[in-house]
Chains A and B, each alone.
Chain A
Amino acid sequence: MDYNFAYLDEQSKRAIRRSLLKAVAIPGHQLPFASREMPLPYGWGTGGIQLTAAIIGKNDVLKVIDQGADDTTNAVSIRQFFARVTGVATTTKTVKASIIQTRHRIPETPLQEGQIMVYQVPMPEPLFKLEPRRTETRILHALGDYSLMYLQLYDHITRYGRVAIGYDFPVMVHDRYLMSPSPIPAFDVPKMHMSPALQIFGAGREKQLYAVPPYSRVVPLAFDDYPFAPLQAQAPCAICGSQHSYKDEIILDDKGTRQYICSDTDYCEQHRC
């Protein structure tokens, strides 16, 4: 059976395209969009898939990563899905991709102008855990009142002695909107600041999308005396030896022996030889 190019019908794509242009014009602001049912459940990247479907064309080269890896279930199925419904070329190499759909990582290889990052977002509202009512968070965004989040950081410092947020670290975009960078590790957040690539975010279940244009200010929340300090494994990659990449922790036996390897499989391959 033949599907329409990129699965979605043209009218749905057009609605997403109109919203995307507005999202780029108002960096960090969440917009509602008519999220469609996709042939996979919510939580598996339906938001990201719809954005990719709305932007992708015949000449694109698509890379899909899941926690940095090109070869995990979610990445493989989404890549195969788009190969089937668009026929576009796919790649695992960050430098060759024009569109990179990602779940929870930004590649280690620096992004370039013209590339588009598509983030899969489970919960687009950064204030969700502090104020569950959408009607209220909208008002807080309108007022630019983010004192709740600062209070949360302060609470962490008094309890744990540091800001204990390892992923989904709240950021300010273009000095106006508090934004969830999606559940990427705090380690990746500095890569968003003044990135030459366009970054777009889709949350299918929550029916929201937002964007960060290239060369935009993306600043993690912090205090002067408690600056932003992301954690990183203090061991080199067991495969390629990289000291600088973000690592996955692998438990090797029942005695607690562990090994650290790069979470970004493409980066690890480049550095192996």
Chain B
Amino acid sequence: MNPEQQQQIFRTLLSAMSAPGEIMSIPARPEPAPLSPACAGVCLTLLDASSAVALTGMAPTVAPWLNDHCRAPMVSLDEAQFVLGMGKHWNWESSQAPIGSEEEPEQGATLILELDNLNAGIPLQLTGPGISGTRNIAPRLGTGFLAFWQKQQSQYPRGVDLILCSQDQCLCLPRSVTICRFEEA
């Protein structure tokens, strides 16, 4: 993927991180990859030899592909800056990903999760920075996500940030956002 495409994908990610929950299309279509086009584009844009990555539950072809294209060092989950995983299998009850320290909360990992779908899960309502009023989303995340997020909120500014990918779309959930279940009135 060329630098121009990487710049476009980064700007999409920057917009997505600045507008939590808004579904954005990843513009450029990268070469064939063992990941969804969105997830592959995000990896090719953000990862290189100085970003430690951990994989959980990914296909065995992903690690060699990442090594060939990004040269990202593979590390264990508790040392990772970026974690690639499958949204529906992610274990929210006992997440091992680093959440940073009070002094260096930026050491908290970015989870890049592959999802079947960004709008067929349990309806959730977001408030917080980047959102004027409220925003509703329904990504299909595994059970225990809401409890995980509420626990994480109590540890703010420590925490993890999410980039959720499905086909050629993504949405971001930075740790600053408050999430509750959306009950229709």
Contacts and interface: CB of A to CB of B under 8 A. Distances in A.
B154 interface: no
A55 B102 CA distance: 28
B95 interface: no
Interface in A80-96: none
A169 to B, nearest CB: 20
A138 interface: yes
A70 B46 CA distance: 33
A176 B3 contact: no
Contact of B3 (A5, A22, A198): A5
A17 B45 contact: yes
Interface in B133-185: 156-157, 161, 174-176
A29 B105 contact: yes
Which of B7, B48, B105, B110: most chain A CB closer than 10 A? B7
B123 interface: no
Contacts of A23: 106
A227 interface: no
A20 B157 CA distance: 16
A51 to B, nearest CB: 11
Interface in A177-213: 177, 194, 196, 198, 212-213
A21 B156 contact: no
A45 interface: no
Interface string A72-114: 0000000000000000000000000000000000000000001
A14 B11 contact: no
B92 interface: no
Contacts of B110: 21-22
A238 interface: no
Interface string B89-115: 000000000000111011000100000
A215 interface: yes
B51 A18 contact: yes
A108 to B, nearest CB: 22
Nearest to A6: B7
A15 interface: yes
A24 B174 contact: yes
Contacts of A58: 4
B36 interface: no
Contacts of A143: 102
B176 A27 contact: yes
A22 B132 contact: no
Leading 6 A-B pairs by shortest Cβ distance? A25-B174, A142-B102, A216-B129, A213-B130, A213-B129, A22-B106
Interface of A: 4-5, 10-11, 13-15, 17-27, 29, 31, 54-58, 114, 138-139, 141-143, 174, 176-177, 194, 196, 198, 212-217
